[in-house]
Amino acid sequence: MENNIEILEPLLKKINEYGNTSYDLIKLKTSAKAIEILSSVATKGILLILIVSSFIILTIGIAFWLGEVLGKIYYGFFCIAGFYLIILGIVYLFMLDWLKKSISDSMVSKMFN
């Protein structure tokens, strides 16, 4: 009986160490994946902010130019707003499902790769 306990004791110790090591490995993999996702989101967020701000400045410039061509400055802003509403309608009607699917596919691939 004592012989069985002497054999089982190191085995149980190794099982416990294996469990602790596996738990630590899962924690490290999870934190590495979270850091990878957060850094990707932060980088894309900064890039998006720069692109959007440049686009807004460009839009304002075009609106002023169109307004000058049309005779009243606010006409240019109305034309730009109408153009964006048309683009929004097209995206909403034809591309909304595709856009949702591509974003969700991108998020899932980031999480599991």
The mean pLDDT of 79-103, rounded to a whole number, is 89
The mean pLDDT of 85-99, rounded to a whole number, is 88
Q: Under a CB-based contact definition with an 8 Å cutoff, are residues 80 and 59 in contact?
A: yes
Instruction: Judge whether residue 2 has pLDDT over 70.
Output: no
Q: Under a CB-based contact definition with an 8 Å cutoff, are residues 63 and 79 in contact?
A: yes
pLDDT tens-digit map of 12-24: 888 889 888 999 9
Q: Under a CB-based contact definition with an 8 Å cutoff, are residues 76 and 65 in contact?
A: yes
- 79: tokens are 């034309």
Quickly state the pLDDT bin for 98 (edges 50, 70, 90).
Answer: confident
Of the ranges 14-23, 70-79, 94-103, the best mean pLDDT one: 70-79
Q: Delimit the domains of the chain by residue range.
A: 2-112
What is the 3-class SS of 19-42, one letter each residue? HHHHHHHHHHHHHHHHHHHHHHHH
- 57: tokens are 């400045």
Q: Under a CB-based contact definition with an 8 Å cutoff, are residues 67 and 74 in contact?
A: yes
Residue 100: what pLDDT? 83
* Reported pTM: 0.63
